[in-house]
Chain A
């Protein structure tokens, strides 16, 4: 595993982000509990956020002298805010879902099938 021998660099961040993303996807795909699915979504978002931060490192930019170099960080902040909002909405949906189905098993809700 050559990466383990290297000092921490972009690839490591990306790897962490990819692992987080993959975990999130797997979590969404396997969890039948709606809360579990939401957690998967959070993981996916965080994986993306890690990528944003990683790519905003100053030595990756051509205009490092001119720019403040905070775009990735800002994007991440947006993602976090978005995730919070999304969680609020999603939890409300989950509650409604529970009220109508008496469960939060997402497999039970297939009313939208074609």
Chain B
């Protein structure tokens, strides 16, 4: 079968398998073995099969488009599986847009998800029977005892995978938005999995609400694109009359302009609507007006019409990604999302939820103007630094990882914003591997210790050698450990690529050089907080004896995924020598058309040049950055080792010296408090006022009208009783009496009847005659 038909088929099956598993578990979950045990096998089987199909799809792709050191962009496959509706030019369809990025994401998502599914079979075992939740008080005052929710967990996991895969494969932005929201609702359901815990339900609400803030911007962006371009589709689409209808990407970067960024006609028209209306009014016919407008558009475009709308659309889309990928200032939901079970955290942080935002920025990269890219870069930069500093002071093992995720997502956005498209997405892939690994390791630790607090751990290395070893791999990978200029763990390659791009950007746009320094400092912080975590958990002496005594190595079903992920965390960044097979080469194939040579100088910000990515591969840049990054990471590691590993320095003393800083970091830069004061409190205040109005005015009016009704009803009642009823009853009584009075007439005597008939006839005859003027008289 040819590639254009095979790939959509493979991905469609890979995408729908988890949906099938979800539906099956919804309807038959609790009946699948004891406690729903087999639901896990079903869900794992479905995602495993999806992994196989995705690998097959990737294999087929690579067979047709082999990787090479200088891979060129390959035209994506786009089309529709099913058209839901068509309104004039507007099509709502379930479509696909398949390029190397899509395939890479499919393999990555299914692979990580499969590992997490397998791991969850072990981790969620407690949910098979009755669960005693010590964190919630039951109705009898003791800890809450509830039935296990084992199948439900896997049902949500399946839905989550389905949503994420749908988002990745989506061929139009309407479909992206649908699955975007599905991902959101899945994260809501899973973060609030322990729904009885107040903290879990509020965290789920927080995640959902914060995401809505971002989605609002996203809707604005989508509306601008729809209004200006008249289409949802990414790729070109063959219209009804065999005419090619250009998709979003080819409208913004038309082939006629050599795929350079051009403000599409639609946006120019939208921005200059007033002037064009005047043209219409002045011209004799509509056709002449259209001609005149077509003549004017290039000159309006040169005058800058529509460019602002393009920027706004980009910012809108990015706004959605800020929410989903937990970027500053909407990063507050992600650490709270730790309330969910640990495999969920791994899934959210590695493969699905937060990856969606970065993926979408990558997907929409050709639509972004340089100004938008700068906003993305600055947002990413702030995020990566802010989150890294908070992670230093956190003591909850999962929260450290959560902030590290926020920080790494910052790196990805940062890189995308600086023009490092491949570098940013490369980091997305490598990060997925080692962050899933780190979370599953932390889950293993929590499973063993029944606590999240690192201050109660310590020395677990001896009890949990596998977990400690794999987590060390994860820490090394995220810190970017490696032998400079030669080889390293996956994080080394991707982070180097990002910093190299930042350095190259700093050279092209010196005004924004600070971005590079912050990112480099972030690298040091990353190494510091990761090794702080590792040392506090696994090395030294046990801090709390019961925890240490209780700890044990996790079962094989949890260890195997760790080992697989550890192998990936080591090797995901490698490019196989000789054949040049590696993630960067794969991503080069997916690079959006026209972005390879960077962006021209921005229209509104002088000196802002987004350089081409290949500049960062220059040996001069690469060497400096590689060494700088290594030095930064090494510094971070050494400080962590000095404080927590070798205990040469006292962490408590450092806390005292930097008391104000520590205070600031422990309170997470007071973002929660700030938002509480800025948004939550006013919202609650408004709500309370509204409730008062409800009670005072609306309830009063409603009660009053009810009382009025009652009064009117009483009057009605009186009228009914005393007038209507009496009339009717009187009528009845009168009829009754009349009947009684007439009763003797019907005597049953035949002869009487005859007389009566005769007499009556004569009487009637006489009466009529009298009436007719005595007609019978002579």
Contacts and interface: CB of A to CB of B under 8 A. Distances in A.
Interface of A: 25, 28-32, 37, 40, 106-107, 109-114
Contacts of A112: 746, 748
A37 B754 CA distance: 10
A93 to B, nearest CB: 11
Q: Which of B743, B754, B755 has the most CB of A within 10 A?
A: B754
Contact of A113 (B746, B751, B754, B758): B746
B744 interface: yes
A31 B754 CA distance: 11
Given A28-B751, A29-B751, A106-B751, A114 B746 contact: yes
A37 B746 contact: no
Interface in B734-754: 742-751, 754
Nearest to A112: B748
Contacts of A106: 749-751
Contacts of A114: 742-748
A90 to B, nearest CB: 12
Given A114-B743, A114-B745, A114-B746, A107 B751 contact: yes
Nearest to B750: A106
B758 A29 contact: yes
Contacts of A28: 751, 754
A31 B742 CA distance: 26
Contacts of A111: 748
B736 to A, nearest CB: 13
26 contacts: A25-B754, A28-B751, A28-B754, A29-B754, A29-B758, A30-B751, A31-B751, A32-B751, A37-B751, A106-B749, A106-B750, A107-B749, A107-B751, A109-B748, A110-B747, A110-B748, A110-B749, A111-B748, A112-B746, A113-B746, A113-B747, A113-B748, A114-B743, A114-B744, A114-B745, A114-B747
Given A30-B751, A32-B751, A25 B746 contact: no
Interface in B719-746: 742-746
A37 B750 contact: yes
A27 to B, nearest CB: 9
Given A107-B751, A111-B748, 12 more contacts: A29-B754, A29-B755, A31-B751, A32-B751, A37-B754, A40-B754, A106-B749, A106-B750, A106-B751, A107-B750, A109-B748, A110-B748
Q: Which of A31, A40, A107 has the most CB of B within 10 A?
A: A107
Contacts of A107: 749-751
Interface in B370-398: none
Contacts of B750: 37, 106-107, 109
Contacts of B747: 110, 113-114
* Nearest 10 Cβ contacts at the A-B interface: A110-B748, A113-B748, A114-B746, A28-B754, A114-B743, A106-B750, A112-B748, A29-B754, A29-B755, A25-B758
Contacts of A110: 747-749
A4 to B, nearest CB: 18
Contacts of A37: 750-751, 754
A110 B752 CA distance: 11
A106 B749 CA distance: 7
Contacts of A40: 754
Q: How large is the interface on B (under 10, 10 to 19, 20 to 34, 35 or more residues)?
A: 10 to 19
B231 to A, nearest CB: 89
B153 to A, nearest CB: 84
Contacts of B745: 114
A22 to B, nearest CB: 9
Nearest to A22: B758
A103 B547 CA distance: 117
Interface string B738-778: 00001111111111001100100000000000000000000
A19 B643 CA distance: 146
B742 to A, nearest CB: 8
A68 to B, nearest CB: 31
Contacts of B749: 106-107, 110, 113
Nearest to B756: A29
B452 to A, nearest CB: 97
B725 to A, nearest CB: 29
Contacts of B744: 114
Q: Which of A29, A30, A107 has the most CB of B within 10 A?
A: A29
Contacts of B743: 114
B744 to A, nearest CB: 7
B41 to A, nearest CB: 87
A114 to B, nearest CB: 3
A111 B747 CA distance: 9
B764 to A, nearest CB: 15
A89 B758 CA distance: 23
Nearest to A30: B751
A57 B341 CA distance: 117
A59 to B, nearest CB: 23
A53 to B, nearest CB: 22
A110 B745 CA distance: 12
Interface in B241-297: none
A28 B758 CA distance: 10
Interface string B1-16: 0000000000000000
Contacts of B751: 28-32, 37, 106-107
A41 B750 CA distance: 12
Contacts of A29: 751, 754-755, 758
A96 to B, nearest CB: 15
Q: Which of A40, A109, A112 has the most CB of B within 10 A?
A: A112
Contacts of B758: 25, 29
Contacts of B742: 114
A40 B743 CA distance: 27
A92 B177 CA distance: 94
A21 to B, nearest CB: 9
A25 B754 CA distance: 7
A32 B750 CA distance: 9
A25 B760 CA distance: 13
A31 B749 CA distance: 12
A112 B749 CA distance: 8
Interface in B119-170: none
Nearest to A106: B750
B755 to A, nearest CB: 5
Nearest to B746: A114
Nearest to B762: A25
A99 B62 CA distance: 112
A30 B758 CA distance: 13
Interface in B632-681: none
B750 to A, nearest CB: 4
A30 B745 CA distance: 18
Interface in B80-117: none
B746 to A, nearest CB: 3
A106 B748 CA distance: 9
A31 B750 CA distance: 10
A65 B748 CA distance: 51
A111 B742 CA distance: 17
Contacts of A31: 751
A106 B742 CA distance: 22
Nearest to A40: B754
